[in-house]
Amino acid sequence: MVVQVNNVTKRYKQNRGVNQASFTLHNGEIIALVGANGAGKSTLIQLLIKQIKPDTGEIVWQDNEELRYMPDDLAFPEALTAEEILHLLGNLKKVSKERQHIILKEVGLFEAKELKVGQFSKGMRQRLNLAQSMMGEGSLFILDEPTNGLDPYWIAQLKKVLLHEKQNGQIVLFSTHLLSLAEEIADSVILLNDGEILATGTISSLLERENCTNLEQVWLKLTKKEGL
């Protein structure tokens, strides 16, 4: 699968959004969408998942348009258990009970599967959010700020999940403001600032082009060029 974003613009009254964004997503890649709060990351993700439509430009899918999505927050019914929630979603997405249990184990919730979500900590809710996004067969996997609420151990486990998805030939795109996370696991990055793509490409190519030793230096250099 290849997904092409061609000169996509989406503007709001507050003048936030994205402006003439262009990039291509390829199979077997992890892409980090990096930017500060309000940079346009969520807008770009909403465009990719078709929650909103662009004002101009187009998004072209060269294969099926199935995807899996992890929002930055998801309100689960607090009276249901983790097992019940995945069972309901599993019926919709035709995911076997065995696979549901495997996913619960991968996110560390199998032992707590009979607890009601109302008893969950923030980190447990976020891991349940990750679990629901792992269900199904979509070859484009989009995660919006997936590290929110996760402790260092589960951030490390999240990395393993994303690398496993990549090894299976999936396209993984995640948004983050953690430059170190992007540098550690992403093949390429899209640097966003005030709705504009400052740079896109492999991390090694960006470091070489900007004569920097890490992604943080690239970010600071490029945003200073924008007068920040």
pLDDT of 228 > 50? The answer is no
pLDDT of 196 > 70? The answer is yes
Please, are residues 156 and 184 in contact by the beta-carbon 8 Å criterion? no
For residues 196-223, give the mean pLDDT: 92
For residues 87-101, give the mean pLDDT: 93
Question: Is beta strand 29-34 parallel, antiparallel or unpaired with respect to 188-193?
Answer: parallel
Domains defined along the chain, listed by start:
2-66+138-225 (3.40.50.300), 74-136 (no CATH)
Tens of pLDDT along 145-177? 999 989 999 999 999 999 999 999 999 999 998
pLDDT of 190 > 70? The answer is yes
User: Could you tell me where the beta strands, DSSP code E, fall in the chain?
Assistant: 2-11, 17-26, 29-34, 56-61, 67-70, 140-144, 171-176, 188-193, 196-202
For residues 5-20, give the mean pLDDT: 88
Please, are residues 166 and 29 in contact by the beta-carbon 8 Å criterion? yes
* pLDDT band of 96, cuts 50, 70, 90: very high
Note the helical H segments in 51-202.
82-93, 97-106, 122-133, 152-167, 179-185
Residue 169 DSSP one-character state: T
Please, are residues 48 and 27 in contact by the beta-carbon 8 Å criterion? no
pLDDT of 227 > 50? The answer is no
pLDDT of 224 > 90? The answer is no
For residues 54-60, give the mean pLDDT: 94
Query: Which residues lie across from 209 on neighbouring strands?
Result: none
pLDDT (0 to 100) of residue 37 = 84
135: CB partners within 8 A, 6+ apart: 68, 86, 89, 90, 93, 95, 99, 100, 103
Residue 52 DSSP one-character state: S
* pLDDT band of 225, cuts 50, 70, 90: low
For residues 78-97, give the mean pLDDT: 93
pLDDT (0 to 100) of residue 226 = 43
